[in-house]
Structure formats: structure tokens, C-alpha cells
Structure 1
Amino acid sequence: MSFKSALINPTELLESLGQHTDIVLLDCTIDKVGQSIKDVKLEILPHSHFFDIEGKLSDPHSKLPHTLVSPEVFEREMQNLGINQDSTVVLYDRWGVYSSPRAWWMFKVMGFAQVFVLNGGAPAWKNNKLPLVDQYTTAASRGNFKAQFQANMYADKAYILAHYRDALVNIFDARSKGRFSGLVAEPRKGLHGGHIPHSKNLPFEELFDGIVYKPVDELKQQFDHFNATGNEYVFSCGSGITASILAFAAHLTGHEQIRVYDGSWSEWGREELNLPIEK
């Protein structure tokens, strides 16, 4: 099955759950920088699995936070969650919208099409007086999910170095204006302040009305404001999480050439790398 948009609301999801058995619900929650949800009572949608961004789905060999795992690891972990090639995957998080778009990008970069984000996440579901539970479910059987890495949705340091001066490549930074300008210190140690030269600042919070995305026409206006000169959009942030919030919004507004810089400022800003930086 499919939804009309990659962004769905609780009513759409509820109706579909009553009609289809191939929907897999994934809670993709991670802590925010300086804010933890670990001690908050677990309230998740019934029959949810846990999509473990910070654990099983981050490369343990990388010095950087939340780095993408290999296609082989991603495939194995999705099979463990019972996901099949014909499954419909719905992603959400317990903040509203925060880390679920990161999970969306991870599925897309691994070649999986039928993936959707619940607008407002578990809080929106709760606001609609729909039931929540306090335990995850386990897969009844192993899935047949297959990963096919899509290099055209991925950016690393080498790609940014090769393209940051290219007028046809638009780099958007999802961090706050203070961090972008270098006036506010980075929350992670060992990082310069500032931004990738020629990048544009669109703080991720500006895409939201409370816990939900703004309407698509308003999101489009926010991107149009920058008068982009090319069709390729690359998204960066602190560690690749909120960059994905922008990437998903760009997808909703019709942009097809989308990449997320996986290392983001946690890599580019490292003092020992001495990469080009503007303030």
C-alpha cells in the first residue's frame, strides 16, 4: 500500500492500520543534544519496533556520532525487525518530529521506497486520543529486506570539498543562526565555530508549527527564499540528524536531488582537519 504523501497524519495512519497488515511501525527516537528522554515514561504506538539509530544503526568504528552503517548491517537489522521488500514502513519519534526524518533518509539511501513519516509523532497520536503502550513488539519472523545503497543521496567530506564552491550545488545548514555564524559555541568539544563556505542557514526549528511540519506551500516558500541556482540540495547540521529534517522537507516540496552530509559539522568543524570555514 501507499499514502498520498511521504508525510502522514494520525487519522490516515489509523485508517490504514485497520485495512492493511503489511505496515511496520518504527519508533526512531534519540536524545537531543542536552535533552534526554530516557527517563520519561515510554509511550509508543501499539505494535511498534525500535529503530535504534544511536546503537545498532550507527557505525561503531566511526569517531563521529550517528554515522551511517554499511548496507549489509542495515539490511540485517531491518530483516531482524521483520521488514520485507513489500512492507510499508511508518516512522515516528517521541519528540514530535526530530529523528524520524533521519530514519527516513536512512531507508531512502538504502534504496527502500515505501517509507513514511508520522507528522507530530507519538505526541500527535496521543493528542488525537489514540492508544499508546509502554512496550515494544518483536518480529514474528525474519524479513526479506534488501539494501541497495543510493550514492546519489549521500555526501561525505570529499564530496563537500569537491562541490562547496559549485554554484549548482546548494548546501543548507540546519543548525541555529548562532552556531552557523560562530557566535555560539558548539555543544561538542574540539570543533571550530562557523560554517561550510557558501552554505545557507535554515535552522530546522523554522520548518515547524509546534510539533508538526508547516504546510508544504510554506516549506516551499522557505526554500524559494534562498533563490537556489541549481537543483542539487545538500544538507548538513551538527551530526546528520536535523539535516535530515531539512532533507525530508525538501522532498515534500518536490526536490529530487537531495543528499545528506553524514559527518556534518561534527566532522567538518574538527580542529585538526583544518577545512575551509566561514563565519
Structure 2
Amino acid sequence: MDMLVSTDWLAKALGAPDLKVLDATAFLPGTPRDPKAEYLAQHIPGALFLDLSTLNDASDPRPAMVPTNAQFAERMAALGIGQDDRIVIYDNSPLSSAGRAWWLLRIFGARQVAILDGGLARWTAEGRPTEAGEAARSNNGAFTAACDDSAIASKADVLANLESCAAQVVDARSADRFRGDAAEPRAGMAEGHIPGSANLPSNLLLDEQGRWKQGDALRQAFDDAGVDLDKPLIMSCGSGVTACNLLFGAALLGKEDVRIYDGSWSEWGADPATPKAVGPA
């Protein structure tokens, strides 16, 4: 299974015993939308609600931090997700939040994970069937969660990188937030960005129909942002969600040496001791 699948592919695969479809819709804090309510009102047939907004380490005061092995395994068991299942993830969010779910599943050991190109919006625009309510969950999944910690960059790693410049940091937030011209959605955070980082708003990796750019068009998006795909990359954003879209886009181009700064700006911007820059990259 490819890491990006079409609506045609999914429509033909629905009902296969080893296929699990997950709704990974999540929104920024303060967004007046309820992902669970929207899932219950309409979802792809058989899709399970991942509840991505709560798939984090609740004991960590930073938002959206990677869950522990036990926490992740518990969520997979509750959903009946097996490590060898074919897992297709979609969302219905301006954040394209399926990217975060794809990354989490990968770093915890899922072997076959894909994102549905265009998400629920494309599925419904094509007139494909949906259903309401909770989908039935199977109990045949077995998932041994073992997080690949090498996929995660810490604040200490990013601070050290300011000196070494071994990796390029790329920020997925909007240009106005990156420049420091717009207030952050979480209280207690400074405006601006990590010094020396590039800015590539994650929506620029999608075309006008909300599908992923590929090939030369995708590479051009990175080039236009000044991202050097020959260097190791650390992706950042507000809280580690849309940064995963940058990682997914790089993965579509075959780029592997990419980490997520999981604390992202919610950690960096809240720490008065970290250096901060404003203005364009």
C-alpha cells in the first residue's frame, strides 16, 4: 500500500478484513467545531474515530506531546487496530491533521499506513457514501507500541542545532504567525519563530482541490521556501501537528532524515530563555 491513496482506491478496498479507516480530524484551540460530533454526523463507512486531540501524553503540561507506549497501545486496543493492519487515515480539518496521525502510527510501529488524498471533503464531493453514528469495532487487533525516539527532536536538540546548524528547521505555521504579526492561539507564548528557521505553511503542499502536490510541484514548494532537501530536517509548527504534514510531504519525495520538534512553538515560545526572531525568514 502506498503512503498516499486515492478515493477510488479506498472505495474498492472498503470491507477488506485487514483494512482499518481512521478519522483523525482535529482543530486548533478555540475553533468552534467539535470533531467527535462531526464524525458522528458523517464519516466514511466503517471509519473509526481516532480522537487525535487526546492522543497525547496527558501527564505532560505541553500540548499534544507524543503519548507513552502504554497510552498509544491502549488507544489501538480500544479501536481494534493491529500492527499489521492496512490503516488509512483521513480528516476534515484545515490543519490536514491526518499527517499527525500518520506520523504517530509510523513511529509507534504500524507497518502499513496511508493518508487518503483529499480527505473527507473529496470523498463527499465525489458523492461517495457516508454513514452516521459509531462504527463497529473489531477485537482482532494486536499492537505492540514501541516509539522510535530518534524521530523526535527535543528543545535541547533544537538549541544545540542553533550552534551546529547540522539540520535545517522548517516551520509549518502561517506566514503571519511565523513573522510575529499574528497572535498565537495559546496563551503565554511570544510571537515569532526559531532563529534561522525557514517557513513553509503546510497548506502550500496541497493543490487547489486539497490534494497533495507530488513530484516537481511538491519539490518546488520546498524550494520556494528555501528548504534544502539535501540537509537533515527538523519540522516545527505550533504544537507538533502540522509539522507532520511537512514531514509527510518530504517523505513523498523520498526524504527520510526528518524529525519532528514535538514541543514546537508551544514550548519554545513559552520559554523566556529561548532566542526568538521576528520578521521573514
Common fold: TM-score over 0.5 = yes
Q: What CA deviation, in whole Å up to 9, does each residue of 1:223-258 have, x standing for no partner?
A: 234252753111101111111111111111110111
| Residue 277 of structure 2: aligned partner | 278
Q: C-alpha root-mean-square deviation of aligned residues, in Å? A: 1.9
| Secondary structure of 1:148's aligned partner | coil
| Residue 240 of structure 2: aligned partner | 240
1:104: how far off? 0.5
**Residues 96 and 212 in structure 1, CA contact (< 8 A), matched pair in contact too:** no
1:13: how far off? 1.0
Percent of counterpart pairs with the same letter?
36
| Secondary structure of 1:15's aligned partner | helix
1:207 aligns with 2:210: no
| Residue 26 of structure 1: aligned partner | 22
1:215: how far off? 2.8
| Secondary structure of 1:145's aligned partner | coil
**Residues 28 and 185 in structure 2, CA contact (< 8 A), matched pair in contact too:** no
**Residues 85 and 112 in structure 2, CA contact (< 8 A), matched pair in contact too:** yes
| Residue 157 of structure 1: aligned partner | 155
| Residue 104 of structure 2: aligned partner | 106
**Equivalents in 2 of 1:212, 1:171: separation in Å?**
25
| Secondary structure of 2:53's aligned partner | coil
Query: Higher helix proportion, which one?
Result: 2
**Residues 239 and 263 in structure 2, CA contact (< 8 A), matched pair in contact too:** yes
**Residues 102 and 242 in structure 1, CA contact (< 8 A), matched pair in contact too:** yes
**Residues 204 and 242 in structure 1, CA contact (< 8 A), matched pair in contact too:** yes
Q: Which runs of 5+ in 1 are unaligned?
A: none
Alignment of 1:1-279 (within 5 A): 3=1, 5-17=2-14, 20-38=16-34, 40=38, 42-55=41-54, 57-95=55-93, 98-210=96-208, 211-225=210-224, 226=226, 228=228, 230-270=230-270, 272-279=271-278
Q: What one-letter code is carried by the residue in structure 2 that aligns with 1:250? A: A
Q: What CA deviation, in whole Å up to 9, does each residue of 1:117-154 have, x standing for no partner?
A: 00111111111211001122232315211112112211
1:113: how far off? 2.5
1:61: how far off? 1.4
1:192: how far off? 1.0
Q: What one-letter code is carried by the residue in structure 1 that aligns with 2:228? A: A
**Equivalents in 2 of 1:128, 1:112: separation in Å?**
29
**Residues 28 and 103 in structure 1, CA contact (< 8 A), matched pair in contact too:** yes
**Equivalents in 1 of 2:94, 2:173: separation in Å?**
18
**Equivalents in 2 of 1:248, 1:45: separation in Å?**
22
**Equivalents in 2 of 1:159, 1:224: separation in Å?**
25
| Secondary structure of 1:209's aligned partner | coil
**Equivalents in 2 of 1:152, 1:141: separation in Å?**
31
**Equivalents in 2 of 1:166, 1:221: separation in Å?**
27
1:187: how far off? 1.9
After the TM superposition, which parts of structure 1 deviate over 6 Å for at least 4 consecutive aligned residues? none
**Equivalents in 2 of 1:89, 1:52: separation in Å?**
15
**Equivalents in 2 of 1:97, 1:181: separation in Å?**
19
**Residues 99 and 241 in structure 1, CA contact (< 8 A), matched pair in contact too:** yes
